[in-house]
């Protein structure tokens, strides 16, 4: 330890310890304002509010008023704080900065709640309108359209399915089973045609056969007896 450096006093040690544990401080009633001037500036809004609420019966505004002004400027802007000061001067009134901070906080919360309520109402109305349009569209039945093959249905659905049907049809026609079936069918049709033609054609008698038959009949005529 440097002998030239002054050792911290007991008060300084206590203040430093209080600052390090300021989140645990409750009531500060009875403490000297000089000590509070060194400790309370290290509090945030929640901690300072808790200390003031716990220190009932003790007016801490001489120490905390400037702290609340700083919080006001941090939360709502320096320009807003300046306008508040000007209004108080014009109206010749004086309010503590804690009161101004809480009033501004309440005003902002009410404005946010109002905006949130309007947004919810607008969303609910738009949802009702959307459901109403869907109901009108559902209850209105479009006229049926007869397709090319005589069936009824939507042209949009037909157009949508047409490429898939064409592709499936092409693949089916190219399959070996269909090709073999067509070959067998052609062979069967060719055989049937030949048989039908042979059955339908009449059999014409041969001229030479008729002549031979006639001559034979004449040669076998019995000889008349004299």
pLDDT at 17 over 70: yes
Closest listed residue to residue 103, CA positions, set 125, 80, 136, 126: 80
Q: Which residue has the tokens 């946010």?
A: 112
pTM, 2 dp: 0.53
Rounded CA-CA distance 27/52 in Å is: 7
Do the beta carbons of residue 71 and residue 44 sit within 8 Å?
no
Query: ∠ at Cα 79 (75, 84), nearest 5°?
Result: 85
Mean pLDDT to the nearest integer, 166-184: 73
Do the beta carbons of residue 27 and residue 53 sit within 8 Å?
no
Q: What is the pLDDT of residues 64-92, one digit of tens each?
A: 999 999 999 999 999 999 999 999 999 99
- Percent of all residues in the chain with a pLDDT value above 70, rounded to a whole number: 67
Q: What is the pLDDT of residues 91-128, one digit of tens each?
A: 999 999 999 999 999 999 999 999 988 888 888 888 88
pLDDT at 174 over 50: yes
> In the prediction, which pLDDT does 125 show?
85
Strands (E), the chain: none
Residue 52, both tokens: 């003031």
Q: What is the pLDDT of residues 187-198, one digit of tens each?
A: 766 666 665 565
- Choose between 198 and 185: higher pLDDT: 185
**DSSP class of residue 22?**
G
Q: What is 43-78 written as a DSSP string? A: --HHHHHHHHHHSTT---HHHHHHHHHHHHHHHH-H
- Choose between 122 and 48: higher pLDDT: 48
């Amino acid at each position: 330890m440097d002998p030239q450096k002054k050792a911290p006093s007991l008060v300084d040690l206590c203040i430093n310890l209080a600052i390090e544990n300021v989140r645990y401080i409750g009531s500060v009633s009875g403490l000297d304002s000089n000590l509070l001037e060194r400790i309370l500036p290290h509090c945030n809004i929640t901690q300072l509010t808790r200390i003031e609420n716990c220190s009932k019966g003790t007016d801490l505004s001489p120490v905390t008023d400037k702290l609340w002004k700083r919080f006001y400027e941090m939360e709502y802007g320096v320009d807003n704080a300046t306008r508040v000061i000007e209004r108080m001067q014009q109206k010749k009134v004086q309010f503590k900065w804690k009161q101004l901070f809480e009033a501004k906080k309440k005003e902002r919360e009410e404005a946010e709640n109002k905006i949130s309520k309007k947004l919810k109402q607008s969303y609910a109305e738009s949802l009702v309108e959307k459901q109403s349009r869907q109901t009108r569209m559902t209850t209105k039945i479009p006229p049926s359209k007869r397709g090319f093959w005589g069936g009824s249905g939507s042209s949009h659905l037909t157009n949508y399915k047409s490429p898939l049907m064409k592709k499936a049809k092409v693949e089916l026609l190219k399959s070996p089973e269909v090709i073999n079936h067509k070959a067998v069918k052609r062979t069967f049709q060719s055989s049937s045609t030949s048989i039908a033609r042979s059955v339908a054609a009449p059999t014409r008698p041969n001229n030479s056969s008729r002549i031979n038959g006639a001559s034979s009949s004449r040669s076998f005529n019995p000889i008349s007896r004299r």
